């Protein structure tokens, strides 16, 4: 007899797994092994579903690279036992975690779907049930014997998005995430419609593994009108800073002040890496289009094209932590490794 499809649910924390404590009204985590009490619909799947919960569970504002390692190792440990993985995670840093895992996994051949909720699973109007149920369905979906979406994704409201293309967009509405530079990999309506042509297909012959060394000597500097020399220099001179994600204006522009170009150039000449990412929600960096970005190019700044800040940061941390050769890192920062940059 054919084995049922098996799914591992990993609960890390966040609003989805919470209920209101009647006495205080405060949100407290549920015992996740009892999830089917909150979502009895789970019993109606003919899949074999198991759950693992982080101990302790964490609000995603507390997430660190060590949690990404814990998650990746959990999946690595159970990789051969399940057909797909669903990670329940707080929404606040979900885009960072999904980006990080997409770069950590080498030759991923199974779906890893992050989801969460804006309203706790114990509330009547929760969005958590639909998010969870559809994520499980997507993680289990196969076509011609192959998983439908062998990628790290975020499913939220009715869209399945490539994880490293997402950003948290609303703290208020059910559509908490946006993927402005990449269309959804699937949309759930009456049916789940997959956008097959943009789903990445792995080489099934290559073995799955993880990379897990992050260099946390990476930071984000967002430009703003009136930014001072002392502020920029204090960041560039931070001890142990090896990489910087520079959030510039529009298509990658920055003030032309000599002190800024000089400071950035000094940083790159000393071996630091700077990746130019736009502050805009959508669109891409095009260095050299305006006078205001030519100086950045001359200072050795690398174009991040249309990468999100979340993907830029996690990619840089992992590359700096796992590769010695700076030229190789620069090369990898300029190219798409997991579909995080649109092909130029």
The residues carrying an active-site annotation are 15
Contacts (CB under 6 A) with ligand ASP, residues 93-132: 116
No. of helices (H) and no. of strands (E), the chain: 9, 20
Residue 137 CA to residue 34 CA, distance in Å, equals 20
- Percent helix, percent strand, percent coil in the chain, to nearest 5: 35, 20, 45
| Smallest distance, ligand ASP to C-beta of residue 190, A | 27
Q: Could you tell me if 266 and 244 are in contact, meaning their C-beta atoms sit under 8 angstroms apart?
A: no
Which of these ranges, 56-64, 146-154, 261-269, 320-328, lies near ligand ASP under the rule CB under 6 A?
Answer: 56-64
**Does 60 help bind ligand ASP (rule: CB under 6 A)?**
yes
Burial of 334 (0-12, 13-18, 19+ CB in 10 A): middle
Of 71 and 302, CB closest to ligand ASP:
71
β-pairing verdict for 159-162 and 167-168? unpaired
Binder to ligand ASP among 32, 47, 57, 92 (CB under 6 A)? 92
Binding piece for ligand ASP, criterion CB under 6 A, among 86-94, 136-144, 147-155, 311-319: 86-94
Following DSSP, what letter does each residue of 207-272 receive, concatenated?
PPEE-------EEEEE--TT--HHHHHHHHT-TT--EEEEEEBTTTB----HHHHHHHHHHHHTT-
Q: In angstroms, rounded to a whole number, what is the distance separating the alpha carbons of residues 134 and 153?
A: 13
- Cα Rg of the chain (Å, integer): 21
Between residues 120 and 243, which has the closer beta carbon with respect to ligand ASP?
120
Residue 147 interacting with ligand ASP (CB under 6 A): no
We find the least distance from the C-beta atom of residue 91 to ligand ASP, in angstroms, to be 3
Counting residues that bind ligand ASP (by CB under 6 A) gives 10
Among positions 33, 36, 37, 61, the unique one binding ligand ASP when judged by CB under 6 A: 61
Shortest separation between residue 17's beta carbon and ligand ASP, angstroms? 9
Separation CA 81–CA 88 (nearest Å): 19
> Nearer to ligand ASP by C-beta: 57 or 108?
57
159-162 and 152-156 as β-strands: parallel, antiparallel, unpaired?
Answer: antiparallel
Q: Which is nearer to ligand ASP, 87 or 329 (CB)?
A: 87
Check binding of 310 to ligand ASP (CB under 6 A): no
Figure out which of the listed residues 19, 45, 48, 59 binds ligand ASP, where binding follows CB under 6 A: 59
Q: Which residue's C-beta sits nearest to ligand ASP?
A: 90
Binding residues for ligand ASP, rule: CB under 6 A, are 13-15, 59-61, 90-92, 116
């Amino acid at each position: 007899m054919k084995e049922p499809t098996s799914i591992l649910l990993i609960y890390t924390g966040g609003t989805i797994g919470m209920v209101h404590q009647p006495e205080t009204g405060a949100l407290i985590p549920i015992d996740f092994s009892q999830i089917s009490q909150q979502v009895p619909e789970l019993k109606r799947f003919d899949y074999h579903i198991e759950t693992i919960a982080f101990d302790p569970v964490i609000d995603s504002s507390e997430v660190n690279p060590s949690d990404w390692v814990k998650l990746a190792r959990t999946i690595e440990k159970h990789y051969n036992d399940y057909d797909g993985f669903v990670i329940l995670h707080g929404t606040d840093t979900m885009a960072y975690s999904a980006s990080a895992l997409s770069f950590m996994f080498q030759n991923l051949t199974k779906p890893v779907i992050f989801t969460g909720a804006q309203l706790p699973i114990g509330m009547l109007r929760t969005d958590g049930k639909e998010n969870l149920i559809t994520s499980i369905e997507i993680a289990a979906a196969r076509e011609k014997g192959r998983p439908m979406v062998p990628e790290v994704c975020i499913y939220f409201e009715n869209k399945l998005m490539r994880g490293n293309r997402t950003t948290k967009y609303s703290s208020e509405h059910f559509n908490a995430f946006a993927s402005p530079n990449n269309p959804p990999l699937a949309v759930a309506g009456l049916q789940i419609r997959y956008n097959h042509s943009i789903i990445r297909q792995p080489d099934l012959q290559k073995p799955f593994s993880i990379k897990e060394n992050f260099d946390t000597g990476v930071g984000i500097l967002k430009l703003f009108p009136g930014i001072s020399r002392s502020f920029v220099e204090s960041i560039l001179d931070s001890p142990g800073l090896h990489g910087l994600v520079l959030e510039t204006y529009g298509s990658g522009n920055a003030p032309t002040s000599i002190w800024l170009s000089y400071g950035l150039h000094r940083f790159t000449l000393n071996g630091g890496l700077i990746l130019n990412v736009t502050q805009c929600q959508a669109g891409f960096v095009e260095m050299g289009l305006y006078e205001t970005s030519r100086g950045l190019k001359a200072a050795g700044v690398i174009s991040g094209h249309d990468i999100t800040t979340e993907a830029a940061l996690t990619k840089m941390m992992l590359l700096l932590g796992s590769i010695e050769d700076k030229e190789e890192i620069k090369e990898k920062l300029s190219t798409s490794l997991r579909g995080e940059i649109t092909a130029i």
